[in-house]
Structure 1
Amino acid sequence: MTSNAARRIEQLRTAINEHNYRYYVLDEPSVPDAEYDRLFNELRALEVEHPELVTADSPTQRVGAEALSAFGQVRHEIPMLSLGNAFSDEDLLSFDRGVQSGLGLPSADLFGGGTEVEYSCEPKLDGLAVSLLYQDGVLVRGATRGDGSTGEDISANVRTVRNIPLRLQGEGWPAVLEVRGEVFMPKDGFEALNARAIESGGKTFANPRNAAAGSLRQLDPKITASRPLEFCAYGIGRVEGALPDTHYRLLQALKSWGLPISRELRLAKGVQGCLDYYREIGARRQGLAYDIDGVVFKVNNLDDQQQLGFRARTPHWAIAHKFPAQEELTELLDVEFQVGRTGAVTPVARLKPVQVAGVTVSNATLHNMDEVQRLGLMIGDTVIVRRAGDVIPQVMQVVLERRPAEARAVAIPHSCPVCGSYVERTQLIKRGKGKASVSEGSIYRCVGRLSCQAQLKQAIIHFVSRRAMDIDGLGDKIVEQLVDVGLVRSPADLYLLTFEQVVVLDGFAELSTRNLLAAIDASKRPSLARFIYALGIPDVGEETAKLLARALGALARIEVALPEVLTWLPDVGLEVAHEIHSFFADDHNRTVIAQLLERGVVLQEEGALHAEFAACATLAELLNKLNIAGIAATGAKNLAEAAGSLEGVIALSQDWLSLSVTKGLSEKARQALREHFAAPANVVHARAIEAQLREFGMHWQSEKKVLAGLPLAGQTWVLTGTLEAMSRDEGKARLEALGAKVAGSVSAKTHCVVAGPGAGSKLTKASELGVPVLDEQAFLARLAELGA
């Protein structure tokens, strides 16, 4: 009996998948809805009777997942890059000239029309970019684009989108196929969704794009399943297997495997064909069943795409020709000021609500007061508002002839709108040889620091974030509530929260309270690098925090490190070094750090100065870092050789006769040296730098350390593709523990490349440069050999 049921279930699934393909992809339904429903209900009944026969790719499993507490993270092995934009015909012509030049093709001139490039053309859907990963033809993962490198795992939600196949159709698809495309909401579905929301007293969406993005990022997949979402494939990412040689044929192959592609897909010969397509689609834009904000053109030949390559974040072989941004007139009602994590006080335009490109706009960013002055903006003005790229509202221009007599100037507040503290204008300090020039910055900043609730909230949101202290359950709203009720006045106060204090807060019950307190307790053993990043030091991101932790090895060293000493670390410039030093010199910051340690935070992975930096300094480098006018690297080296020590240099600077015969120094440099060390403060500062170099073990007379146990010291490695036995972050950490530097790009100085499945341009570059390449199995064997 079970075998009969299994056969019938397989027949039904095959029939339903075929009907889905004909309906969603070919737009040629072959049975009425009633017949489709009968087949679907029969399949569902059989699966209820035989649950052991249910499979993840069954058509009935689109709404079966439980609600999530949060989305996981997905690292895109091949980044999901943005497209460059063309806003005019000339921009597109310029793009085409760049393509022809990059391919070495003759361009049009007086004697001929040149060679026309073939482009694939399709509308630019206004939705949410997603990645779908198929293994052996079965959908195994869905992810958002995120920041291009890391997205959110929305696998449960993409399974509910009706026209996304859970299993690929036909044959010939690669064993691993990552499909990229757009999830969007058709106009009629959007209107119906909002109509239902109005009837039930719910919240409506501003536009189909917001509706699609909000629907796809629901933690409960059943909500996503209830929304009228559709998917359209526009390209691929990681692939293991053969594919067609043009973009157009690639999309046709995706269509044959059951994936919907744009019905407006066309080929165009040359840039004029692209312009004709752009104008034709633009004329039909309002009549399309979905919103679009432009047209995407891609060089059709995939080998040509490979040859053209990429810029930092955009391909040279594709461009989005955007439709003109819609502009409207409205009134500037007021300018208010918001306060960010670093205290930056930013002006925001409050506008008389106006519809711009289908969206009600009532606020627009003004960036800073320099922008306000550039626009000549006054409160009461009539202004032109534009949605740049159909997304971000901007005040573009003031209509001066409509300025009312009672218009008021926009004034930066003298006190913070949140805490009342003084607002100061930032200064830009440019440090050079012998002097530091100071100019006014464009940013105004509240000096209230963590006594300002706006800064405090943003600081704590950063402190608890996933890549910082990683306290699960402390979302923005909860942080705001904790600050508003006065339970948290600094990050250290999180570690004093009690069950009785939390359980009475909005949204908390006994279980959620215990979970939050457990998560806070679990965060008490961060690595030194995580802790440094969590502190929110200006201009110190994750990589700089890792460098500080790895190089100096202990919080005690980082806290007291002088700016000049910090610049011995790679990629730490003097401006960032001053930010780090100033942060730890601040009494309030030192108090918060002390409280964190007193309240149970125990830093992990602390230790000695990294062997790479032992005795790394030289006297010549120290002299160069003192920024004495006229003394650059060569002069500093000559001076160091002549004097032999810092005390010798100080003495020599005041011995005019000996100094005058010192080789390699100009008269100007000698005078500057004498004046520099004639100032007692400069002598004290130079001696302090030398003393700290000795204390840290970085001084030229310090003991050099043999990089024992660090067999990869001095080597640069690159990871690319997917690692199946571990994450890329883990692979990086293990290499760094062996002394290697892990870089993001391949060069002639790269020692080795580890290439997992899906490796792309980095693997190609390694082959071109003759850099050794290890697959994952060989990499694991190498780690085992080194005892890592």
Structure 2
Amino acid sequence: MGARKGARARVAELRELIRHHDRKYYVDAAPEIADGEYDALMSELAALEREHPELVTADSPTRRVAGAPSDGFSTVEHAVPMLSLENTYSPEELVAFDARVRKGLPGEPVEYVVEPKLDGVSISLRYVEGSLDVAVTRGDGERGDDVTANVRTIRSIPSALSGRRAPATVEVRGEVFMPRSGFEELNGRRIEAEEAPFVNPRNAAAGSLKLRDPSEAAKRPLTAIFYQVAGPAAARIATQWEAIELMGDWGFPVSPDVALARDVDAAVEACLAWDERRGGLDYDIDGTVVKVNSLEQQARLGSTAKSPRWGIAYKFPAVSVRTVVLGIEVQVGRTGKLTPVAVLEPVFVSGSTVSRATLHNQDEIERLDVRVGDTVEIEKGGEVIPKVARVVRSMRKGRPRRFRMPATCPACGEPVVRPEGEVDARCGNESCPGQAAGRIQHFASRGAMDIRGLGSALVATLVAEGLVSDYGDLYGLDAESLAALDRMGERSAENLLAELEESKDRPFARVLHGLGIRHVGARAAQVLAARFTGMKELAAASEEELAETEEIGPVIAASIRSFLESPRNKEALRKLETAGVNMRGGSTPGRATALAGLTVVLTGSLERMTREQAAEAVAEAGGRVSSSVSSKTDLVVVGADPGSKLKKALELGIRTIDESELERMLG
């Protein structure tokens, strides 16, 4: 017993020592011991854990380099969505952002925090009782991949929190990235091993997080910087500046160069200073992030469906390079739009190799006067998609022919039309295989049905082989037909069929978004799914009824009616319903609840359900969940440690209830 007690004490001492030296080396960049001494501590701990396996814990430093290979990554829903920031590209746009903020906070002083915008992989970590519980990628903002095993191998990320006492449960968000020095060293090793080098540090970081074997992930030189405390724990923090200080005290690496700006002019100066010094950094940044410092003001400003109103990304000016146009191809999209694409001599720009760039339409081609053989300047700044910025006419050789959009569709041969008043040429053939492939790709995309095994190449093959002509046909595929396709095989066929089966239970809003109705994006699909109990009720709604729905309006309403009245679309919807794809939304039919039609806000921690579960229950009961309190709010559900939303509710005289009352109203 005495030996075991001594081993327990020594193990605890070793773990504390190793975590201390991990922080000094990986976070503070101020190592206190030599590598050999550190290795000796780690070896002693590993030996004690082998001798006393009952002492092994998930957060032990030895777990950073161990772990069994994974067969795949499960997805986890974010309790608080990871929204995307809006982009801005000039000081003038930052000033306009400040004007919007001040309009939402009339007469109040506003401070800003300016942080570097790292070009890495966004990550959300949850700690329970001080230990890392789960690590999830950003994904689509609503759901991400569980990469906990690989994140545990990143030495700069604490497996256990230190410093001032952290809340029992805390969620932090940041960016995992690979420093340029580590990236160059990794690529050097890969080239020596005759393996393909990574294109850029971001791709290397993303690929490393998705390795199946954590012991392989441990070999990759990943690190991280954290910038946000999310969820209920944030209610105890007054400012973004304080949040960054707290995270640093808990053991998280944070940027040492965050600037506190007293006004927008100071924020602009900080952004411009970052632009000047970014070339000398050991990591890639593609801009800065400007945030309102007060978290209480952030809460009042709230968010749109996609982006917070209290923060914005300032993207640095685009970098341009020269290359040659080898050809111009025309692609057919899911709506029939024909898009000319420049095929380029491959060139490296802004972290990746570019070999294609959109030319948008015939008007843009004529404006640029771009021709095959021309030398052009390519830009890839704040935008993900590279574009042809200009033609270097002084380098044009001879008299190359002007490009004209084709009179017939390159996918089906039907005549191309250009509707009056529009810049885009379109194929009017609803049965066009090019459109069919585009519609199916959109249906399977991550923001819609999330059928990950259904890539663009496979979709094109399925359409070309006549196995599918619309997304309804996907659910009639069989293992034998799929396995007979090139590069498929039995296992791939079975995996795809399993994904298709799983996708049948996607929420109605995702199904609606996947249908590809013109003008109906993710947000409009959510509104429609909440308003109508299912596809039958939506199909029965008149154009006037649709137009009167909040956030829809006449243009979207007309597009919905046009889509639903198409015989081709009716047949595709029939196939989906027959296959068992979820076609129900809104509240449960026939279920009378006290929450129907009410706008509800949740604040604080609930005991018997998560905030996410409560929000889903309210929506199922016919209510609408909002992220901020306003005069339109009907009800505020108050849990433990409520934030500023309770204060705002009391000021506005809005009814407040506890969790027990919410459960009663839910029935």
- TM-score, normalised via structure 2 length: 0.84
Which residue identity lines up with residue 354 of structure 1 in the other structure?
A: V
Distance 2:509 2:112 in 1: 47
Name the structure 2 match of 1:87: 90
Name the structure 1 match of 2:245: 252
Distance change >3 Å, CA 373–CA 19, structure 1 → 2: same
Distance 1:548 1:305 in 2: 28
Q: Offset of 1:40 from its aligned partner?
A: 1.0
Distance 1:92 1:515 in 2: 47
Name the structure 2 match of 1:770: 653
Which residue identity lines up with residue 662 of structure 2 in the other structure?
A: F
181, 188, 197: which one aligns with 1:204: 197
139, 158, 164: which one aligns with 1:165: 158
Distance change >3 Å, CA 551–CA 296, structure 1 → 2: closer
Distance 1:277 1:17 in 2: 34
34, 53, 57: which one aligns with 1:32: 34
Gaps of 5+ in 1: 107-114, 428-438, 612-706
Distance change >3 Å, CA 727–CA 103, structure 1 → 2: closer
The answer on 1:582 being equivalent to 2:575 is no
Provide, for residues 92-132 of structure 1, a one-character-per-residue CA deviation record: whole Å limited to 9, x for no partner. Answer: 677778889988899xxxxxxxx9x8765554432223222
Name the structure 2 match of 1:228: 221
Gaps of 5+ in 2: none
Name the structure 1 match of 2:149: 156
Distance 1:316 1:527 in 2: 27
Name the structure 2 match of 1:622: none
Provide, for residues 410-440 of structure 1, a one-character-per-residue CA deviation record: whole Å limited to 9, x for no partner. Answer: 3222223333333322x4xxxxxxxxxxx42
9, 12, 19: which one aligns with 2:14: 12
80, 84, 91: which one aligns with 1:77: 80
The answer on 1:498 being equivalent to 2:491 is no
Name the structure 2 match of 1:333: 326
Provide, for residues 467-498 of structure 1, a one-character-per-residue CA deviation record: whole Å limited to 9, x for no partner. Answer: 76666755555544434444333334334333
Which residue identity lines up with residue 442 of structure 1 in the other structure?
A: V
Conservation of the 8 A alpha-carbon contact between 2:179 and 2:221: yes
Conservation of the 8 A alpha-carbon contact between 2:303 and 2:627: no
SS of residue matched to 2:425: strand
Distance 1:737 1:122 in 2: 39
Q: Offset of 1:186 from its aligned partner?
A: 0.9
Q: How does 1:210-609 map to 2 (within 5 A)?
A: 210-240=203-233, 247-265=240-258, 284-296=277-289, 320-357=313-350, 359-389=352-382, 391-425=384-418, 427=419, 439-452=420-433, 454-464=434-444, 474=454, 478-505=458-485, 513-514=493-494, 516-517=496-497, 520=500, 532-541=512-521, 555=535, 558-559=538-539, 562-564=542-544, 566-567=546-547, 569-596=549-576, 600-601=579-580
SS of residue matched to 1:592: helix
Conservation of the 8 A alpha-carbon contact between 2:530 and 2:622: no
Conservation of the 8 A alpha-carbon contact between 1:130 and 1:145: yes
Name the structure 2 match of 1:621: none
Give identity over the alignment, percent: 43
Q: Offset of 1:269 from its aligned partner?
A: 7.0
Q: Offset of 1:198 from its aligned partner?
A: 2.4
Q: Offset of 1:166 from its aligned partner?
A: 0.8
Aligned positions, number: 664
54, 58, 65: which one aligns with 1:52: 54
Name the structure 2 match of 1:740: 623
Distance 1:567 1:259 in 2: 49
Q: Offset of 1:13 from its aligned partner?
A: 0.7
Distance 1:529 1:302 in 2: 31
The answer on 1:132 being equivalent to 2:125 is yes
Distance change >3 Å, CA 380–CA 774, structure 1 → 2: farther
The answer on 1:780 being equivalent to 2:663 is yes
Distance 1:412 1:592 in 2: 31
Distance 1:423 1:762 in 2: 55
Q: Offset of 1:150 from its aligned partner?
A: 4.6
Provide, for residues 261-292 of structure 1, a one-character-per-residue CA deviation record: whole Å limited to 9, x for no partner. Answer: 22444557777876776666555433322223
Distance 1:390 1:463 in 2: 24
SS of residue matched to 1:750: coil
Distance change >3 Å, CA 722–CA 195, structure 1 → 2: farther
126, 138, 149: which one aligns with 1:145: 138
Which residue identity lines up with residue 140 of structure 1 in the other structure?
A: D
Conservation of the 8 A alpha-carbon contact between 2:140 and 2:446: no
Which residue identity lines up with residue 425 of structure 2 in the other structure?
A: Y
Distance 1:590 1:242 in 2: 48
- TM-score, normalised via structure 1 length: 0.72
Q: Offset of 1:26 from its aligned partner?
A: 1.9
Q: Offset of 1:515 from its aligned partner?
A: 5.1
Provide, for residues 485-541 of structure 1, a one-character-per-residue CA deviation record: whole Å limited to 9, x for no partner. Answer: 443333343343333323444565656544544554566678876655543333345
Distance change >3 Å, CA 567–CA 387, structure 1 → 2: closer
Q: Offset of 1:295 from its aligned partner?
A: 4.5
Conservation of the 8 A alpha-carbon contact between 1:71 and 1:219: no
Distance change >3 Å, CA 61–CA 476, structure 1 → 2: farther
Q: Offset of 1:387 from its aligned partner?
A: 2.0
Distance 2:263 2:564 in 1: 59
SS of residue matched to 1:388: coil
Which residue identity lines up with residue 494 of structure 1 in the other structure?
A: L
Distance 1:582 1:259 in 2: 53
Which residue identity lines up with residue 7 of structure 2 in the other structure?
A: A
Distance change >3 Å, CA 459–CA 222, structure 1 → 2: farther
Name the structure 2 match of 1:753: 636
Distance 1:234 1:552 in 2: 39
Please tell me the root mean square deviation across aligned C-alpha atoms, in Å.
4.2
Q: Offset of 1:247 from its aligned partner?
A: 4.3
Name the structure 2 match of 1:624: none
Which residue identity lines up with residue 489 of structure 1 in the other structure?
A: S
Which residue identity lines up with residue 64 of structure 1 in the other structure?
A: G
Conservation of the 8 A alpha-carbon contact between 1:78 and 1:758: no
Distance change >3 Å, CA 6–CA 392, structure 1 → 2: same
Distance change >3 Å, CA 595–CA 390, structure 1 → 2: closer
Distance 1:551 1:302 in 2: 32
Distance 1:348 1:97 in 2: 38
Q: Offset of 1:258 from its aligned partner?
A: 1.3
Which residue identity lines up with residue 635 of structure 2 in the other structure?
A: C
Distance change >3 Å, CA 602–CA 317, structure 1 → 2: closer
Which residue identity lines up with residue 78 of structure 2 in the other structure?
A: R
The higher relative CO (CA closer than 8 Å, separation ≥ 6) is in 2
Distance change >3 Å, CA 724–CA 194, structure 1 → 2: farther
Distance 2:368 2:70 in 1: 48
Which residue identity lines up with residue 768 of structure 1 in the other structure?
A: E
